[in-house]
Amino acid sequence: MCPGLFGKLYCRHSELSDTAESKLMDSIEKKTLNVDSMTPSDPMNVLIVGVGGQGVIMVSKVLATMCQLQGHTVKQSEVHGMAKRGGTVFSHVRFGTQVWSPTIPKGKADIILALEWAEGLRWINYLDKNNGTFIADTQHIVPPFACLNRKRGALTGYKTHLPGEVLDYVHVGYALDATAIASEIGNYRVSNTVLLGTLSTVLDFPLDLWRRVIGESVPPKTIDLNLKAFEAGRRWAEEARKNGMAPDQSPVIVPDDQPQPEEDNFELVLTLEWCKGCDICVKVCPERCLILNSEHKVELTNADLCTGCRICEWLCPDFAIDVIKTPHEPQTGMSR
Amino acid sequence: MDSSSADSFNIRDFLRLDMFPHFLCPGCGHGIAMRALLWAIYELEIPKDKLAIVSGIGCSGRIGAYIDANTFHVTHGRPLSFASGLALARPDLNVIVITGDGDCLAIGGNHMIHACRRNLNMTCMMLNNEVYGMTGGQASPTTSEARYTTTSQSGCIEPVFDACALATAAGASFVGREVTIHLPDLKDLLRQGLAHKGFSFIEVLSDCTEVFGRKNNLGESPEMILSQKSRMRPSSYGSVDGNIVDEPFRANTLPTGILSRNERPEYGDTYRKHAADIRALKSGK
């Protein structure tokens, strides 16, 4: 498995054949970035990315505070305003003896910490290909614009690579299901602290300071939970290094060249004698494919747009609309 | 939202097709409530022979006539009384009462509180459209304050009846409220009410476009239905202890969902046990 395995990738939840495991074990060495060796022109670059609401800003604040307390010059810049909940959020943290620019150039990030898998992939070209460390949560948050085709059974536009495929782009990779770890601890929302725990094993900062800064950065009620999550993230990274876990194959995404699953077909049957032209179906249809015609009766304008969501059927007080699921048509010339 | 049975549910199996189209005005929410009820019945797989639908007078009362089951169209305000007798005599039937706000709370208010108190095994679906629609739009006990109707030409000044609070206080063991636009939720609520052993009282917030919405400038039926979303708030108390602990956090909204539920003894069971005890006592002597 994983013929292109030339980096080191630590993942969770899977099995590895004996030979592959021993090979992986041989190639594992602990990588700690030595902060003292940095030159003034070459600061340490950490890029933190994720989805709005996950806690990207909290992670970057903790990291920036840590660096400040360690006596480094820190510059941090973030984009979060338009993201609110559900959009893409990123934060650049640069620290060293002297930092000139607050943003990280492409291909120069020493560490990418991704709180969501596809967001990590989106920013992977910022990572230093030869020396970079990639830490990512394998959970998938599918954005609404990836679901433009609202037909039932339709594919989403959310495309991603398996952790094994990411190896070509990273020097060291950690792919963990931080959300599952956080849920085991008690709240999935501390997954960002789990990842912070994993990050702390890569950076050479004192452990007590990490705990103190996290305690000061999170709401008082959640300090215990966050510290537990931090320990879990650290423990995971240490175990992963020791045992050499195999690339996680669990996220199954159908590539473009594979046959796509068949979409359900729906037929709209209108009983015009029962229609009283109340206009409800026209107003509630998300695809805007119904109108009232000149006789004040419902009419389907474009059958291709109908996704079979049944909202018109459900909200028709006169039972004049029936959405009928039909068997799949044979695949002849259907490109969509 | 559970829509797994949506593909197989065909409402025409439950309708008296020769009576269609029905007499309700364009855009009347009662039709949507009727679909939810029939869908809930379909999901529970209740055979038509075991289904008894009792309805009173009014727009809501006509719904019973369109359902292909044992239906019983009775006097104004008394569907719960008729249904009580039916449920006592035939405990094998699923008794469903379809009633309106005027039918249930004004003319039949007395019958309603005693039906709640006895806790007989039946389901009462009260369609609340805030008005007496069939008779020309008079103010009903649930007409909101400042609303114009034919009997409140300068705006209604009477306070509103909260039917769910009344039912809970009177002793109904399952009380819920839902709006028509959330049809799958309404269907789920009705299904739970039908499956509940004891008196289930479910208030459905419906819309009356022709005689209420037009007078009050509430827009056409789509606007009235869509505005229901801003009138309700999901209930925070789905607990089983039957105590109302909701604290209103938004003015002018009504809680929806299961409002109270408990498992107190059903009257029919108590009655039959009592009767059997007396019979045994007499035969023993």
Q: Does position A128 have pLDDT exceeding 70, yes or no? A: yes
B225 vs A274, A280, A325: nearest CB = A280
Mean pLDDT of B84-93: 94
Is it the case that residue A190 has pLDDT exceeding 90? yes
User: What was the pLDDT predicted at A244?
Assistant: 63
Query: Given this model, what pLDDT does residue A291 score?
Result: 92
The answer, yes or no, to whether residue A197 has pLDDT greater than 70, is yes
With CB atoms and an 8 Å threshold, state whether B24 touches A317.
yes
**Region of residue B148 (phi > 0: left; psi between -120 and 50: alpha; otherwise: beta):** beta
Q: Is the pLDDT of residue A78 over 60?
A: yes
- On the question of pLDDT at A199 being above 70, the answer is yes
CA distances for B251 relative to A146, B129, B163, B248, B254, angstroms: 37, 20, 18, 7, 9
CA angle B26, B28, B33 (to 5 degrees): 140
Q: CA separation (Å) from B262 to A240, B242, B272?
A: 51, 5, 21
- Cα(A185)–Cα(A180) distance, integer angstroms: 9
Instruction: Considering only residues A3 and A180, tell me which one the structure prediction assigns the higher pLDDT.
Output: A180
- pLDDT averaged over chain A? 78
The DSSP line for A33-52 is --GGG--TTS-EEEEEEEET
The domains of chain B are located at 13-284
Residue A261 has what pLDDT? 58
CA A288 – CA A311 distance, rounded (Å): 12
Q: What number of other Cβ atoms are within 10 A of residue B95's Cβ?
A: 27
Q: Is A278 on the interface with B (CB under 8 A)?
A: yes
Q: Kindly list the residues from chain B whose CB atom is less than 8 angstroms away from the CB atom of residue A280.
A: 27, 221-222, 225
pLDDT attached to residue A61: 92
Candidates B17, B28, B32: best to mutate against A (most CBs of A within 10 A) is B32
Single-letter amino acid, residue A167: L
Tell me, yes or no, if A310 comes closer than 8 A to chain B by beta carbon.
Answer: yes
| C-alpha span between A246 and A163 (Å, rounded) | 10
Note whether A278 contacts B20, CB cutoff 8 Å.
no
Cα A139 to Cα A176: distance, rounded to the nearest angstrom: 9
Question: Does the domain at residues B13-284 carry the CATH identifier 3.30.230.10?
Answer: no
Residues in chain A: 336
Chain B residues whose CB is inside 8 A of the A320 CB are 21
pLDDT digits (tens, 9 = 90+) for A129-148: 888 889 998 888 887 777 77
Of A317, A320, A325, the CB nearest to B27: A317
Q: Which of A273, A276, A323 to mutate to test the interface with B (most CBs of B within 10 A)?
A: A276
- Of A212-226, A248-262, B87-101, which range is least confident? A248-262
Averaged pLDDT for residues B131-144? 91
Contacts of A310 in chain B (CB under 8 A): 3, 6
Q: Give the residue, A246 or B55, on which the prediction is more confident.
A: B55
Q: Which residues of A141-159 are buried (b: 16+ CB within 10 A; e: fewer)?
A: bebeeeeeeebbebbeeee
DSSP string, B249-276: -STT-EEEEEEEE--PPPHHHHHHHHHH
Lowest mean pLDDT among B46-55, B163-172, B231-240: B231-240
pLDDT (mean) for B189-193: 95
pLDDT at A250 over 50: no
Lowest-confidence segment of A166-175, A193-202, B122-131 by average pLDDT = A166-175
Higher pLDDT, A315 or A258: A315
Is residue B56 classed as helix, strand or coil in its secondary structure? coil
Q: Is A279 an interface residue toward B (CB < 8 Å)?
A: yes
pLDDT band at A29 (very low <50, low <70, confident <90, very high): very low
pLDDT at position B95, please?
96
The arithmetic mean of pLDDT across residues B132-154, rounded, is 90
> In angstroms, what separates the C-alpha of B268 from chain A's closest C-alpha?
35
Region A75-90: mean pLDDT is: 77
Interface test with A, best of B7, B9, B67, B210 (most A CBs within 10 A): B7
Element (H, E) at B96: strand B94-100
Confidence tier at A262 by pLDDT (50, 70, 90): low
pLDDT of residue B14: 94
Contact B32, B125 (CB under 8 A): no
pLDDT at A144: 74
- Domains in chain A with CATH codes: 8-243 (3.40.920.10), 265-326 (3.30.70.20)
What are the pLDDT digits (tens) for B2-52? 457 888 899 999 999 999 899 999 999 999 999 999 999 999 999 999 999
Residue A118, pLDDT above cutoff 50: yes
